[in-house]
Amino acid sequence: MRNTFGTRLTVTLFGESHGAEIGCVLDGLKPGLPVDAARISDLLARRRPNGPTATARVEPDPFRIVSGVYQGRTTGAPLCILIPNTQARSGDYRDLADTPRPGHADYTAFVKYRGFADPRGGGHLSGRLTAPLVAAAGVVLPALEAGGIRIGTHLARCGGVEDRGFSDLPADLTALSHASFPVLDPERGRAMREAILSAAEAGDSVGGVLETAVTGLPAGLGEPWFDTVEGLLAHALFSIPAVKGVEFGAGFALADLRGSEADDPIRMDGDRVVTAANHNGGVNGGITNGMPLIVRTVVKPTPTIRTPRRTVSLASRSDAEITVQGRHDPAIAPRAAIVQTAVTALVLCDLLAEAEG
Amino acid sequence: MRNTFGTRLTVTLFGESHGAEIGCVLDGLKPGLPVDAARISDLLARRRPNGPTATARVEPDPFRIVSGVYQGRTTGAPLCILIPNTQARSGDYRDLADTPRPGHADYTAFVKYRGFADPRGGGHLSGRLTAPLVAAAGVVLPALEAGGIRIGTHLARCGGVEDRGFSDLPADLTALSHASFPVLDPERGRAMREAILSAAEAGDSVGGVLETAVTGLPAGLGEPWFDTVEGLLAHALFSIPAVKGVEFGAGFALADLRGSEADDPIRMDGDRVVTAANHNGGVNGGITNGMPLIVRTVVKPTPTIRTPRRTVSLASRSDAEITVQGRHDPAIAPRAAIVQTAVTALVLCDLLAEAEG
Amino acid sequence: MRNTFGTRLTVTLFGESHGAEIGCVLDGLKPGLPVDAARISDLLARRRPNGPTATARVEPDPFRIVSGVYQGRTTGAPLCILIPNTQARSGDYRDLADTPRPGHADYTAFVKYRGFADPRGGGHLSGRLTAPLVAAAGVVLPALEAGGIRIGTHLARCGGVEDRGFSDLPADLTALSHASFPVLDPERGRAMREAILSAAEAGDSVGGVLETAVTGLPAGLGEPWFDTVEGLLAHALFSIPAVKGVEFGAGFALADLRGSEADDPIRMDGDRVVTAANHNGGVNGGITNGMPLIVRTVVKPTPTIRTPRRTVSLASRSDAEITVQGRHDPAIAPRAAIVQTAVTALVLCDLLAEAEG
Amino acid sequence: MRNTFGTRLTVTLFGESHGAEIGCVLDGLKPGLPVDAARISDLLARRRPNGPTATARVEPDPFRIVSGVYQGRTTGAPLCILIPNTQARSGDYRDLADTPRPGHADYTAFVKYRGFADPRGGGHLSGRLTAPLVAAAGVVLPALEAGGIRIGTHLARCGGVEDRGFSDLPADLTALSHASFPVLDPERGRAMREAILSAAEAGDSVGGVLETAVTGLPAGLGEPWFDTVEGLLAHALFSIPAVKGVEFGAGFALADLRGSEADDPIRMDGDRVVTAANHNGGVNGGITNGMPLIVRTVVKPTPTIRTPRRTVSLASRSDAEITVQGRHDPAIAPRAAIVQTAVTALVLCDLLAEAEG
């Protein structure tokens, strides 16, 4: 399946950066879920660039649900969300078709689609397409939360600055749900924004790490082979443009730990089976263990190109140079935080539907 | 789908650690591919523990192909491989059903399968099940190689010792195909084995990082959304027991790079479009760009438990202790190298079938 | 998967009879296919009721392609088609929510969707949703035809009147592509329309049989198990509302034939392997044999309800009566002919993509 | 997916008519279901040819479950069943590779598998492969029955003789579960067997119609589009070799009925919503309505070839003749009855798992 993800709850994504509308079809929703347009708007707003750390392109992101909702509730039929592209400026990209931008997907799209891809703003391969994913998550998040499941993502590292780690998860998730910049420590957030601005002034960009925590998941979700919780989440998270790595729990740090150091002792907490540490990030053998799910991604620095970069001319098959003046983020990671929350929410809803029926 | 992976080329895995046989069904193979039993045996031998760094359990891994091959070639019908379990010793595990081992999947399997899972040696959730995956890869690797695609995995880090990185890929891949221990620098390999032995003597275990390189892939494989090359590979690689992170190209190191530093300039190399660096690990926008694919996983230290560990009794719902004398690897990472090669091969065959038809 | 069909070429259907828009997402299209809006319009016009044999509801069926097409050609990205519902009159159906119409899906939708389904005009369970399927077929039919494949459907039987059978397939398919009423013998078409009118005047409706022929298919499409050509086509054709049976070649008549009578002798026709008869309808062992594919469906008489019918009140759980004045077809079969052509085209495109890559 | 069917409960089929073993992998089973080997044996015995109406090939059908069962119950892991081929006589088929049998899949398999298919006894395209499907059904039928669901199939028509229709379903299904020949009226069964014998003596074969009834299904299973109950069942039933048509309820007879005649009035039966007639065979709009599900297939006469038949030589691309002395059924329909029950059971289990979770 190409642009569809999920087993029981599926999302089918369509649209191009500079087309009339982009959108998605969400299928497999339970009937009767209240649909909260304000919540969807709020999530879309969090994805929107705001302030000098992000692109100057303003996306008001109005949206419209054209199916699957009746009298404010899901019907169980597929729910299609459309988001118009109101401010596309195709001219910025007109010369890119021949000279692919290094680090972007221009060349790979050219090969894959045999030269027929819509080149305007990346076409179908644009970060713009994450907006329908965020809107889709806005449909399902209230139901997750009603089931006691909470999800939040913070920018754990950006421009060389590290946010503090999760400590008191309920309070941290609440704080993140209100935060205008997705960090746990506002002071470090300010330092990150300064680092981003400094890179932007140099015509450059920075990468980052996004860390998501999920609380309230039942034990027993996922499969030991192939459809592990880690595998399913990673599969989906790599769709977030610029993500180049995914790790769970202690992640790559486990390479240098001994088994005795990475131990997650099991104990009773009242009636619940819990672990005293969480090096495994809430997953053992591909299956949730009831502890908080912890997943981190690395987001590469945007290959923004204000200074000339080496590339080739696809027509003449010769070396060339490219300079791009288009609007781009000096750091995509802060805006990707809500996308990571959204993608995580959609995958978990699918897993819960698989478990619950 | 639970125990099936792939779209055009699918693998369906079955069996338990201490059952009569384990195996898999490989479907979607092109008809007419020569099947080389010696190659399959060789790969299975590489997965087998050898020497003091691995478990004392000896697995001769004979196998038998019961369908899908006629006169030495694939027929295009599903190919079923069976591997008998000859040396299972169930007694070692008899007490584990009630006291789940920390860090293992005992508790999550208990919840998921409602107490009906086969507990012997982990049952279906055993690393033993990677043997059929390796055998399946043995069926497809000759066809990949005939198409100019080569795959190799080295233990990039283990027990605090780092192998040298890939330098001359053709030579490195050839060396790895012969190596008795999967490293590029035999000296560092010896240091790793010493570190593993040292941990083993302390009743402990170590983690590691596995790095795979693939050369000869065409540009244009993969999808920009959901079925990205990274997402598909990560999805499958997280099935390797103990893998807790997957990264491509420069991976998590990209968090601290600026865009100008992570640049992969595009240029012509004769008739081919290449990049001068490979921070993206051969993938842009989820699609291969024709450069070597570089993927790394982190393998956590085996939660081997020779000293008492805290756990619970599931029957009495109270805290308990567990000590395990069973045979376990002080380091699973070295043996997992061939599994990582195998899983990568299977995913790439699927992607190539998708592209080629 | 709920509202998605296909493996390589997928269609995802969404919308409700009285919503703002209905539509579909077509994914897996090859890049570079010319998209002919006039052809799509023409097909939609063939689905539209015209004249006294069909519902008085007029559906102008304008449509809009919001993604997947650039400069008149498919890009390879998902193609979303939207069709507005311009003339919905919800009032006609307001009382139906409690008293399900016999023979319709009102009761089954009530149970399945737990009372949350959109009841207006059948909601998502309306024949109206076949319009996007027809539009989707309009995207792929030119490519099929360019590959030498032709598809046509005639009303083989309706209201007790039988059309003549296919005889000269190239001429018959050409005639059907122009026919205002989908029959091979216009005289019998007139008799059918009289039978339909006669039933309509009695407040009643009639059923029919639709027969599709496909020429130009290569041998070798389909699988022997599960994804047989017959199974895939039947799976999709049962989505056409009111279809209650699907048969291939001689179909149910084979029950009373001996093997010697049902023989399809194989012979050479120049360089081609052909069969002298076609009792198997172009499929042996689930796989196309290169002969014309022949498939027939039975379309039940619309359960139109001008005279009182027995039903129940779902609220009071007691027997009730229902009379419906809404616009309905006295015979759905004539309009379903183009839908059957469309569904067949979509399934065959998927099979061809599977075979060709 | 090629040899895998199902969404939540999947069956993966493998093996060849004359290979060492055939089998299947059943995945998605709930943990804890008792597995009754005697029931599986009994079902396999019903599929076995017995008496002069069937092939002289004797298949004792021992089987072995190699995974997914522990202490007599399903574990929730994939269950693999193997059935050895004990009496294969490959010599009978050695000349068939070049001269495809009319009406069989020899030619289509040759094209599809490019000459590499195992030709012995039809290889993977043999009715022998229905044995693992029957065995798989033996695993799930007890659970269906424990849930109040009963399934039975009778030979509704064969050799020009018609069985009586279902009347008292509970009694009829009980009678069928014991019947040595799958008919409701033993007298007509004798007439059928005489007709079959008469055809066999003439070196010929006969077709038939199989009718399955399912009672106890809940309302609400299935989807309105694509995954209709009819579409899913038909998809699977067309895998039964020789099936060329599938119809539900009144089926093709609906072509000649008026809406008023095909009416299924809805009424209360105590607390249950029922219909007074069942022209729709238990399905409205693709979704079960709680009435008995009624599905019929037509089974074509075996293209047995004792007298010379016209074919071609694939090597010389010229016309040829073929005469076959191998063991074949003069009527496949009687043996296919249990296969139809099995396939129906597997599809319904999948639908129930989809509904129940």
Mind listing the pLDDT tens digit for each residue in B94-146?
A: 556 799 999 999 999 999 999 999 988 899 999 999 999 999 999 999 999 99
Neighbours of chain D (3+ CB pairs under 8 A): A, B, C
Of A347-351, B1-5, C111-115, D122-126, minimum mean pLDDT range: B1-5
Contact residues, chain A, for C133 at CB < 8 Å: none
| B23 contacts D78? CB cut-off 8 A | no
Q: What is the mean pLDDT of residues D154-162?
A: 97
* pLDDT for the residue D51: 52
**Chain A contact for C82, CB < 8 A?**
yes
Find the CB nearest D105 among C206, C207, C224.
Answer: C224
* pLDDT for the residue C204: 93
Contact residues, chain B, for A232 at CB < 8 Å: 235
- Asked if the model's pLDDT at residue C219 lies above 90, the reply is yes
* pLDDT for the residue B356: 76
**Chain A contact for D91, CB < 8 A?**
no
* pLDDT for the residue C90: 56
Find the CB nearest B247 among A205, A226, A298.
Answer: A298
On average, the pLDDT of chain A sits at 92
Find the CB nearest C356 among B353, B354, B357.
Answer: B357
Nearest chain A residue (CA) to D1: A1
Nearest chain C residue (CA) to D122: C285
Find the CB nearest B226 among A4, A103, A289.
Answer: A4
Nearest chain A residue (CA) to B218: A111
The model's confidence at residue C356, banded by pLDDT at 50, 70 and 90, is confident
Q: What is the mean pLDDT of residues B188-194?
A: 97
| D160 contacts C257? CB cut-off 8 A | no
Q: What tokens does C105 get?
A: 């899906």
Find the CB nearest A117 among C66, C76, C118.
Answer: C76
| Helix (H) or strand (E) run with residue A297 in it | strand A293-299
- Asked if the model's pLDDT at residue D357 lies above 70, the reply is no
**Chain D contact for A355, CB < 8 A?**
yes
pLDDT, greater one: C1 or D140: D140
Distance from CA of C57 to the nearest CA of A (A): 21
Interface of B with A in 292-331 (CB under 8 A): 298-304, 307, 309-312, 314, 317-319
Nearest chain C residue (CA) to B350: C357
pLDDT, greater one: B329 or C261: C261
A16-65 confidence digits (pLDDT tens): 999 999 999 999 999 999 999 999 999 999 998 765 455 545 555 799 99
Residues D185/D164, Cβ–Cβ less than 8 Å: yes
**Chain C contact for B356, CB < 8 A?**
yes
Q: What tokens does C296 get?
A: 């027939």
| D3 contacts C255? CB cut-off 8 A | no
* pLDDT for the residue A274: 97
| D75 contacts B118? CB cut-off 8 A | yes
Q: What is the mean pLDDT of residues A277-289?
A: 98
Interface of C with D in 149-178 (CB under 8 A): 157-158, 160
Nearest chain D residue (CA) to A354: D357
User: What ipTM was predicted for this assembly?
Assistant: 0.96
Contact residues, chain C, for D15 at CB < 8 Å: none
| Cα–Cα distance for residue pair D289/D219, rounded to 1 Å | 4
- Asked if the model's pLDDT at residue C57 lies above 60, the reply is no
Contact residues, chain B, for D112 at CB < 8 Å: 76
Highest mean pLDDT among B45-49, D49-53, D297-301: D297-301
Neighbours of chain C (3+ CB pairs under 8 A): A, B, D
| Cα–Cα distance for residue pair D267/C313, rounded to 1 Å | 9
**Chain C contact for B353, CB < 8 A?**
yes
Distance from CA of B355 to the nearest CA of C (A): 6
- Write a three-state SS string for chain D: CCCEECCCCEEEEECCCCCCEEEEEEECCCCCCECCHHHHHHHHHHHCCCCCCCCCCCCCCCCEECCCEECCEECCCCEEEEEECCCCCHHHHCCCCCCCCCCCCHHHHHHHCCCCCCCHHHCCCCHHHHHHHHHHHHHHHHHHHHCCCEEEEEEEEECCEECCCCCCHHHHHHHHHHCCCCCCCHHHHHHHHHHHHHHHHCCCCECEEEEEEEECCCCCCCCCCCCCHHHHHHHHHCCCCCEEEEEECCHHHHHHCECCCCCCCEEEECCEEEECCCCCCCEECCEECCCCEEEEEEECCCCCCCCCEEEEECCCCEEEEECCCCCCCCCCHHHHHHHHHHHHHHHHHHHHHHHHC
Residues D251/C92, Cβ–Cβ less than 8 Å: no
| C236 contacts D238? CB cut-off 8 A | no
Contact residues, chain B, for D20 at CB < 8 Å: 64, 66
Hey, is A107 helix, strand or coil? helix
CB pairs under 8 A between B and D: 159
Neighbours of chain A (3+ CB pairs under 8 A): B, C, D
* pLDDT for the residue C88: 57
- The CA distances from residue B18 to B90, B118, D66, D75, in Å, are 7, 9, 11, 14
On average, the pLDDT of chain B sits at 92
The model's confidence at residue C324, banded by pLDDT at 50, 70 and 90, is confident
C2-55 confidence digits (pLDDT tens): 899 999 999 999 999 999 999 999 999 999 999 999 999 999 999 987 654 555
**Chain D contact for C12, CB < 8 A?**
no
* pLDDT for the residue B49: 75
Find the CB nearest A309 among B232, B239, B265.
Answer: B265
| C2 contacts A28? CB cut-off 8 A | yes
| A246 contacts B225? CB cut-off 8 A | no
| A1 contacts C12? CB cut-off 8 A | no
| B113 contacts D66? CB cut-off 8 A | no
Distance from CA of C357 to the nearest CA of A (A): 13
Q: What is the mean pLDDT of residues B157-175?
A: 97
| B355 contacts C356? CB cut-off 8 A | no
- For residue D209, which phi and psi values (nearest 5 degrees)? -125, 130
Nearest chain D residue (CA) to A78: D225
Mutate which: C13, C217, C252, vs D, most D CBs within 10 A: C252
Helix axes B333-356, B229-237, angle to 10 degrees: 140
Q: What is the mean pLDDT of residues C102-107?
A: 94
| Helix (H) or strand (E) run with residue C274 in it | strand C272-275
Q: What is the mean pLDDT of residues C237-250?
A: 98
Contact residues, chain A, for C79 at CB < 8 Å: 14
**Chain A contact for C31, CB < 8 A?**
yes
Interface of B with A in 276-295 (CB under 8 A): 276, 279-281, 283-290
| D70 contacts B114? CB cut-off 8 A | no
Distance from CA of B130 to the nearest CA of A (A): 10
Mutate which: C5, C11, C116, C129, vs A, most A CBs within 10 A: C116
